[in-house]
């Protein structure tokens, strides 16, 4: 028998067999498609092409289906696999295919014994740079920074797991007009600071003149001042240009702003278990701007337009809505986000020579990235020395709305700070748990500190899964009461499923029951095993589509199917062979759920204490 660990590979084999059968019968192969059954209670795979081709073939659909099945059976028999598949024709020629239980047993046993749980690695490993941070210096992180961090971290973990080399960069927003506005506001409020003294000699103070809270306030007030005062706006622009040129006082303040902000930013990311290899900012690309400008000039694509210097990126395919030019230098010589992003591509190509660059950024920035990518292509920045091409990709995500369907804001219309949101969900999770005075907690010697840590892990699972269960590009509504529940399609529900499995395994260990070969004896075991065997295809699909929701869907399906298995398939009071088989299925379920949750950045506590019960 030809053996493969992946159901997807088996489906590919079936597809090849049906293609051969259709060719032999002179039927159009575009109707030979084999896919997972939409009626898993009847079969595993389906091919419905006979109905579409019956008229053309001048045969009744069922008769044509019988001819196709006979041809496929002959091909399978020639490969020595006749016992692995069962065929049935339903309705007007639908071909149902079911795998033999013996084949599923061998696949599941092999998956269980494989350290990668049957997930293959890519045959063509790449170097992928992931840009999924982007918080702005000089103000506290808000809820808008949540999705890029959560989705980007998961994409990073999935890419690594399937065999790619990843390089992640937080790419701080630290080099534009907002910092000129903030410095201007500080100058108005504290003009006596040495940073504003043109005659200052020596070093500036090591300690920042502002706290993070003060920095947030200055940012808002500076922005408001410039909104209502054209002269102030011009001064802020001048300060920004001077800061970027290295004027000592302004640059010294900017460094303080960065240091104060990054401390808080790191705390938020550490709390969410978000990891970056590099903590570069827009400012780091500034050293490359002259070289980029020179390259653009050599190509003849950096041109003057109304006093600014731009790169025209419109293409004929844009039709009546041509893409605006990318502004490289403003009239006053200051740079733009387009400038620093283009320079960053240049920098990344020089430092890492990546095969791909993922930008996990709000989808509303789509036009900006089209401009940058087109300019980079025109400049030749995407060309690699080995003749390859770096492919930049904007993975746009939707917005987070409140339960009312509108973008999340405070009552006074302000953005919600990320740290505050994390704290609120933590408190909501804490309410679900007992205190250290609970009898079970006392019996297990669980401290309040451990319960608080459990609440923190549940809170992060609630936030992350609630985000990633949605298609990345779509908006979604955040409902704290819904996402922290232990029921339904939530992160805590999946954590609880793993904790319940741990409880089963602990009891089995205490009863000296050991796992053995998988032997399927009923439909509930079979359904669970078939679902578990879809892991390889799930992980690779999530990577190819850049879509963590694929993993969320599969993990939730496993938890649901396992719940039915748990109800219908007792373990401890069964015959030894049944005990051993079911325990192996339970172990495999835990391993796969734990892997998928880890790829989503979700921790799996061994035991969960709730006010209702303990798992």
pLDDT in tens, 161-207: 999 999 999 999 998 889 999 999 999 999 999 999 999 998 999 99
Per the structure block, which two tokens stand in for 535? 């892991």
Which pLDDT does position 6 carry in this prediction? 72
Query: pLDDT tens-digit profile of 116-138?
Result: 999 999 999 999 999 999 998 88
The pLDDT-based confidence of 410 (bands split at 50, 70, 90) is low
Contact 554, 534 (CB under 8 A): yes
Query: pLDDT tens-digit profile of 344-373?
Result: 999 999 999 999 999 999 999 999 999 999
Over residues 34-62, mean pLDDT: 92
Over residues 68-83, mean pLDDT: 93
User: CA nearest 497: which of 611, 381, 597?
Assistant: 597
Between 412 and 293, where is the model more confident? 293
Residue 99 and residue 14: Cα distance in Å, rounded?
Answer: 11
User: CA nearest 452: which of 421, 484, 430?
Assistant: 430
Indicate the average pLDDT of the chain: 94
Residue 87 and residue 424: Cα distance in Å, rounded?
Answer: 55
Taking the model in full, what pTM does it have? 0.93
Confidence check: pLDDT of 491 > 80: yes
Residue 358 and residue 26: Cα distance in Å, rounded?
Answer: 44
Which pLDDT does position 1 carry in this prediction? 33
Which pLDDT does position 572 carry in this prediction? 84
Which residues, in sequence order, are CB contacts of 228 under 8 Å at separation 6+? none
Which residues, in sequence order, are CB contacts of 397 under 8 Å at separation 6+? 147, 148, 151, 360, 361, 362, 363, 472, 473
Which pLDDT does position 615 carry in this prediction? 63
Which pLDDT does position 9 carry in this prediction? 87
List C-alpha distances in Å: 47 to 30, 34, 63, 91, 487.
11, 5, 14, 12, 36
Contact 277, 290 (CB under 8 A): no
List C-alpha distances in Å: 208 to 176, 185, 260.
20, 16, 7
Radius of gyration of the chain (CA): 30
> Which helix (H) or strand (E) covers residue 439, if one does?
helix 439-444
The label of the residue with tokens 């939707």 reads 398
Number of H helices, E strands in the chain: 21, 13
Residue 349 and residue 385: Cα distance in Å, rounded?
Answer: 10
Per the structure block, which two tokens stand in for 371? 């401009």
Which pLDDT does position 18 carry in this prediction? 96
DSSP letters for 137-194: TTS--BGGGHHHHHHHHHHHHHHHHTT-EEEEE--BB-SSHHHHHHHHHHHHH-TTSG
Query: pLDDT tens-digit profile of 508-528?
Result: 999 999 999 999 999 999 999
Which residues, in sequence order, are CB contacts of 550 under 8 Å at separation 6+? 538, 541, 542
Which pLDDT does position 611 carry in this prediction? 82
Dihedral sign of CA atoms 397, 398, 401, 407 in order = positive
Q: What phi-psi label fits residue 389: left (phi over 0), alpha (psi between -120 and 50 degrees) or beta?
A: beta
Per the structure block, which two tokens stand in for 190? 């504290």
Between 551 and 212, where is the model more confident? 551
Which pLDDT does position 176 carry in this prediction? 84
Which residues, in sequence order, are CB contacts of 32 under 8 Å at separation 6+? 15, 18, 19, 21, 22, 47, 49
Query: pLDDT tens-digit profile of 298-336?
Result: 999 999 999 999 999 999 999 999 999 999 999 878 888
Over residues 449-464, mean pLDDT: 98
Residue 379 and residue 295: Cα distance in Å, rounded?
Answer: 7
Which pLDDT does position 2 carry in this prediction? 38
HSE-CB for 190 with a 13 A CA cutoff: 12
List C-alpha distances in Å: 557 to 376, 396, 592, 600.
43, 26, 12, 15
Which pLDDT does position 3 carry in this prediction? 40
pLDDT > 70: what percent of the chain?
98
Which residues, in sequence order, are CB contacts of 466 under 8 Å at separation 6+? 476, 478, 482, 483, 490, 491
Which pLDDT does position 411 carry in this prediction? 57
Residue 361: phi and psi, rounded to 5, are -140, 150
């Amino acid at each position: 028998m030809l053996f493969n660990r992946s159901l997807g590979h088996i489906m590919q084999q079936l597809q090849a067999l049906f293609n051969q059968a259709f060719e032999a019968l002179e039927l159009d192969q575009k109707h030979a498609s084999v896919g997972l059954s939409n009626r898993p209670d009847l079969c595993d795979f389906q091919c419905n092409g006979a109905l579409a081709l019956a008229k053309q073939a001048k045969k009744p659909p069922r008769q044509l289906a019988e001819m196709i099945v006979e041809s496929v059976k002959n091909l399978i028999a020639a490969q020595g696999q006749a016992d692995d598949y069962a065929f049935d024709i339903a309705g007007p020629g639908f071909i149902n295919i079911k795998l033999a239980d013996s084949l599923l047993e061998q696949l599941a046993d092999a998956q269980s014994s494989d350290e990668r749980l049957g997930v293959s690695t890519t045959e063509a490993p790449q170097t992928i740079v992931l840009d999924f941070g982007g918080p702005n210096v000089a103000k506290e992180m808000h809820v808008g920074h949540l999705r890029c961090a959560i989705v980007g971290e998961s994409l990073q973990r999935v890419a690594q797991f399937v065999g790619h080399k990843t390089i992640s960069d937080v790419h701080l927003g630290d080099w534009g007009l907002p910092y000129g506005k903030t410095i201007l506001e500080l100058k108005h409020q504290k003009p006596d600071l040495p940073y504003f003294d043109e005659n200052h000699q020596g070093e500036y103070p090591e300690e920042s003149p502002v706290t993070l809270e003060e920095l947030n306030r200055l940012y808002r007030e500076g922005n408001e001042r410039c909104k209502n005062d054209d002269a102030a706006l011009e001064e802020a622009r001048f300060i920004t240009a001077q800061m970027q040129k290295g004027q000592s006082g302004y640059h010294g303040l900017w460094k303080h702003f960065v240091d104060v902000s990054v401390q808080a930013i790191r705390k938020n990311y550490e709390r969410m278990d978000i990891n970056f290899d590099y903590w570069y900012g827009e400012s780091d690309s500034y050293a490359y701007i002259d070289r980029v400008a020179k390259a653009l000039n050599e190509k003849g694509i950096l041109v003057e337009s109304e006093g600014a210097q731009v790169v025209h990126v419109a293409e004929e395919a844009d039709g009546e809505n041509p893409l605006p030019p990318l502004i490289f230098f403003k009239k006053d010589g200051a740079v733009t986000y387009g400038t620093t992003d283009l320079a960053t591509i240049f920098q990344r190509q020089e430092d890492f020579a990546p095969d791909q660059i993922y930008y996990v950024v709000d989808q509303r920035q789509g036009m900006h990235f089209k401009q940058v990518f087109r300019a980079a292509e025109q400049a030749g920045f995407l060309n690699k020395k080995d003749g390859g091409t770096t492919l930049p990709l904007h993975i746009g995500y939707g917005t987070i709305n409140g339960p009312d369907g509108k973008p999340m804001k405070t009552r006074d219309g302000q953005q919600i700070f990320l740290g505050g949101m994390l704290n609120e969900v933590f408190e909501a999770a804490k309410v679900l748990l007992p205190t250290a005075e609970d009898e079970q907690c006392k019996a297990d010697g669980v401290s309040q500190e451990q319960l608080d840590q459990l609440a923190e892990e549940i809170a992060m699972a609630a936030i992350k899964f609630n985000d990633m269960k949605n298609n990345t590009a779509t908006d979604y509504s955040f409902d704290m009461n819904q996402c922290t529940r232990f029921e339904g399609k939530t992160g805590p529900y999946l954590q609880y499923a793993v904790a319940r499995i741990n409880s089963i395994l602990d009891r089995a260990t205490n009863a000296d029951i050991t796992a053995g070969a998988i032997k399927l004896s009923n439909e509930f075991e079979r359904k669970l095993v078939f679902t578990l065997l879809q892991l390889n295809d799930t992980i690779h699909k999530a990577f190819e589509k850049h879509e963590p929701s694929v993993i969320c869907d599969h993990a939730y399906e496993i938890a649901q199917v396992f719940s039915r298995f748990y109800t219908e398939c007792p373990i401890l009071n069964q015959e030894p062979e049944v005990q051993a088989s079911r325990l192996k299925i339970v172990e495999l379920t835990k391993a796969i759920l734990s892997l998928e949750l880890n790829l989503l950045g979700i921790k799996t506590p061994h035991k969960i204490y709730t006010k209702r019960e303990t798992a």
